[in-house]
Amino acid sequence: MTDDTTTTGRLLLPRGIFISCQAPEGSPLRDPYVMVSLARAAEKAGAAGIRAEGVKDISRIVETVRIPVIGIRKKHYEGSEVYITPTRFEVDEIAGAGAGIIALDATSRPRPGGETLEEVVSHAKALGLTVMADLAASEDAGQAIAAGVDVLGTTLVAASDEDVRPGGPNLAVIERLSNAFPERQVIAEGRFATPSDVQAAFRAGAATVVVGKAVTDAYALTRDLVAAADTFALSGSVG
């Protein structure tokens, strides 16, 4: 698929599939070598880009693949619920690791240290980064655009009765964002697991789809399957 630019000429994310190569704390997969291997496999399979977390993972993936990397830094600060690239300090870390695209929490929740969304976005753009807004609802988009973000993502949209199925993605938010802000790329992210999910996202107006757990988190997927088996056994249905 082809690249696009914003009205300001800033390079946007390539159209296609981005694979999120991340592992949570406590996972045996949480190792830069594993994340690099997953990124290499994704690139070889035709992925348009990678989403990665943390300085070590980002820097090693950037050194290894030739496709764009969205960098994030998850850090929890006392007194704030914002943890995805919350401050300018994390922006500096991501830029130093070599990512050309940065994603950050673009909700209205207070940021650590009294920093504002506008300050964090402005700092990122001053460093030459393309900025992806991780939104929790379509209502977050207006303030994110006013702050200067380049693309809109559905990363933080919670599960609701709008989802295509229990545990599935929310296509309604993608469609609302695409219709309301046709000048911005909409990045579909959050609970995308199947080829039909991906096609539905593109039909709803997404330019790019980010897929994570369904591809890269064998640990979490195995836990889900084991839990299902245990629940079935406890129900007394096993002969």
User: Quick one: the chain helix, strand, coil %, rounded to 5?
Assistant: 40, 15, 45
Q: pTM of the entire structure?
A: 0.92
Cβ neighbourhood burial of 27 (10 Å; 0-12, 13-18, 19+): middle
DSSP per-residue string spanning 6-49 = -TT--B-PPSEEEEEE---TT-TT-SHHHHHHHHHHHHHTT-SE
What is the C-alpha separation between 174 and 92, in angstroms, rounded?
A: 30
pLDDT at 9 over 50: no
How is the chain split into domains, by residue range? Answer: 16-232
pLDDT one-digit tens code per residue, 66-122:
999 999 999 999 999 999 999 999 999 999 999 999 999 999 999 999 999 999 999
State pLDDT tens for residues 141-200.
999 999 999 999 999 999 999 999 999 999 999 999 999 999 999 999 999 999 999 999
Provide CATH code, domain 16-232. Answer: 3.20.20.70
Distance CA 108, CA 223 (A): 34
